[in-house]
């Protein structure tokens, strides 16, 4: 919410947190990085009590341009140019590099948490909301499965240990959205995280559809591929990202025509991810197939993909454009309500199989964990 300095009249932003260990960690880590030019500045911090509830009041600079997602949607989610995306990532990447060099993982990088100084061309982009930020001991991996599903990497959804590379996956998702207008992984079932969406994230199934991506350079697409590696140890680091032509503002190589990967996908329960060629027909799976059938079918298709095509594919029906970001959000309104709001955490729940009496749930859980390949963080 907005507030004003009584002496100067300056407009500021006020964030109220219920006092506790989590809130104090958020304030401590934010304050620790407060000096960076691309981190939202903390002006002052107060303790107070409202209706017998102890609270922390964090007064921050007011970002007139709002958050980047709102700006993006206000222009009908029209894709940004590579030059503009490079400038955004240069600024936010600088903040992330500052955090990572201090061994701090933000863990919730998304367009909503990138704040803008103005709506003009001279906008300064800053990283905010340290609600999930954590500073583990050196060489100690994190375990808390907290996330915003659209931006969550496989190791977080798979309840594995993970490191700061989780932020790099999220940056890759943000870049993808800004360059085409929709996310690489999503569910159309009104769920924050569906089985189909989870399996595609785990296997890295996404694509660069021609309509939106033909004008994007191969170098930039390769940067995204390196950020969306399912193995965290193979993922591009923040220092590597900051040294790419896109972020440095150098001219990228000419765009070359991408390989055609026609096919069709239906979300979640009914999934058709077979490659369609002139001599082949689409393969459909009925809505009542379980996760084991779905993921086995995905493996078969994955093995059919030619070697020259990157095995990170999300198939779309011929002639059908991927949904825009704003239309996806309309379809998954309930999902957005279930996503992380304010300073409250949303955790990916794990069924207690010891007391579970539902054999289908137990089977789905066992199959999902057998199908998601193990990730080793070093």
| Residue 174 per-residue DSSP state | H
Cα separation, 152 vs 169, in Å, equals 7
Residue 48's closest CA among 13, 81, 14? 14
Looking only at the bridges linking them, the beta strands covering 125-127 and 42-50 are unpaired
Give whole-number Cα distances, 229 to 28, 234, 236, 344, in Å: 31, 6, 8, 28
pLDDT of residue 321: 52
Q: What is the pTM of this model?
A: 0.70
- Written as six digits, the tokens of 31 are 């304050």
Helices (H), 281-354: 291-304, 325-331, 333-338
Residue 119's closest CA among 181, 60, 66, 175? 66
CB 162 within 8 Å of CB 153: yes
| Buried-state track 5-31, b at ≥16 Cβ within 10 A, e below 16 | eeeeeeebbebbbebeeebebbbebbe
pLDDT of residue 116: 98
- What are the tens digits of pLDDT across the range 195-248? 899 999 999 999 999 999 999 999 999 999 999 999 999 999 999 999 999 999
Alpha-carbon dihedral angle through residues 13, 17, 19, 21, given to the nearest 10 degrees: -100
CB 54 within 8 Å of CB 154: no
CATH fold of the domain at 2-61: Phosphorylase Kinase; domain 1 (3.30.200)
- What are the tens digits of pLDDT across the range 308-332? 334 333 334 444 455 555 555 554 4
CB 98 within 8 Å of CB 135: no
Looking only at the bridges linking them, the beta strands covering 53-61 and 42-50 are antiparallel
Q: What share of the chain is helix, strand, coil (3-state, %, to 5)?
A: 35, 10, 50
CA 19 from chain centre, in angstroms, equals: 28
Minimum mean pLDDT range among 6-10, 92-96, 110-114, 316-320: 316-320
Supply the angle between the helices 165-180 and 218-227 in degrees, to the nearest 10: 140
Cβ-based neighbours of 51, under 8 Å, separated by 6 or more: none
- What are the tens digits of pLDDT across the range 272-308? 332 222 223 223 333 334 444 444 444 444 444 443 3
Domain range summary for the chain, segments of one domain joined by +? 2-61, 63-338
Q: Do domains 2-61 and 63-338 have the same CATH topology?
A: no
- What are the tens digits of pLDDT across the range 266-280? 344 333 332 222 223
CATH fold of the domain at 63-338: Transferase(Phosphotransferase); domain 1 (1.10.510)
Q: Which residues are designated catalytic?
A: 108
Cα separation, 269 vs 258, in Å, equals 30
pLDDT of residue 359: 55
Answer yes or no: is pLDDT of 73 > 80. yes
pLDDT of residue 342: 37
Answer yes or no: is pLDDT of 164 > 50. yes
Answer yes or no: is pLDDT of 12 > 90. yes
Question: What would the mean pLDDT of 65-72 be, rounded to a whole number?
Answer: 96
pLDDT of residue 60: 96
pLDDT of residue 309: 37
Cβ-based neighbours of 185, under 8 Å, separated by 6 or more: 150, 173, 197, 200, 201, 206, 314
């Amino acid at each position: 919410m907005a507030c004003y300095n009584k002496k100067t009249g300056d407009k500021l932003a006020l964030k109220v947190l219920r006092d506790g260990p989590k809130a104090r960690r958020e304030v401590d880590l934010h304050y620790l990085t407060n000096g960076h030019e691309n981190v939202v500045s903390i002006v002052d911090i107060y303790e107070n009590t409202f209706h017998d509830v102890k609270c922390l009041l964090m007064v921050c600079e007011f970002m007139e341009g709002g958050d980047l997602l709102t700006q993006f949607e206000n222009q009908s989610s029209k894709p940004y140019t590579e030059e503009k995306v490079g400038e955004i990532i240069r600024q936010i990447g600088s903040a992330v590099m500052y955090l990572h060099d201090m061994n701090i993982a933000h863990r919730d990088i998304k367009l909503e948490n990138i704040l803008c100084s103005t709506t003009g061309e001279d906008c300064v982009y800053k990283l905010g909301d340290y609600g999930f930020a954590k500073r583990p001991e050196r060489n100690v991996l994190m375990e808390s499965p907290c996330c915003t599903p659209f931006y969550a990497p496989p190791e977080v959804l798979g309840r594995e240990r993970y490191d700061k590379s989780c932020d790099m996956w999220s940056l890759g998702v943000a870049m993808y959205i800004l360059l085409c207008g929709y996310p690489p992984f999503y569910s159309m079932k009104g769920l924050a995280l569906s089985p189909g969406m989870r399996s595609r994230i785990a296997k890295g199934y996404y694509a660069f559809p021609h309509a939106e991506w033909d004008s994007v350079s191969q170098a930039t697409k390769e940067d995204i591929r390196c950020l969306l590696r399912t193995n965290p140890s193979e993922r591009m680091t923040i220092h590597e990202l900051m040294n790419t032509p896109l972020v440095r503002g150098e001219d990228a190589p000419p765009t070359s025509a991408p390989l055609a990967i026609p096919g069709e996908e239906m979300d979640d329960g009914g999934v058709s991810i077979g490659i369609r060629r002139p001599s082949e027909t689409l393969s459909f799976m009925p809505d009542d197939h379980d996760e084991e059938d779905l993921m086995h079918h995905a493996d078969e298709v994955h093995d059919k993909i030619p070697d020259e095509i990157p095995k990170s594919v999300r198939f779309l029906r011929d002639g059908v454009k991927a949904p825009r970001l704003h239309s996806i959000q309309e379809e998954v309104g309930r999902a957005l309500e279930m996503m992380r709001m304010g300073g409250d955490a949303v955790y990916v729940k794990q069924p207690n199989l010891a007391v579970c009496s539902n054999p289908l749930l137990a089977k789905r859980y066992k199959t999902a964990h057998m199908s998601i390949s193990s990730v080793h963080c070093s």
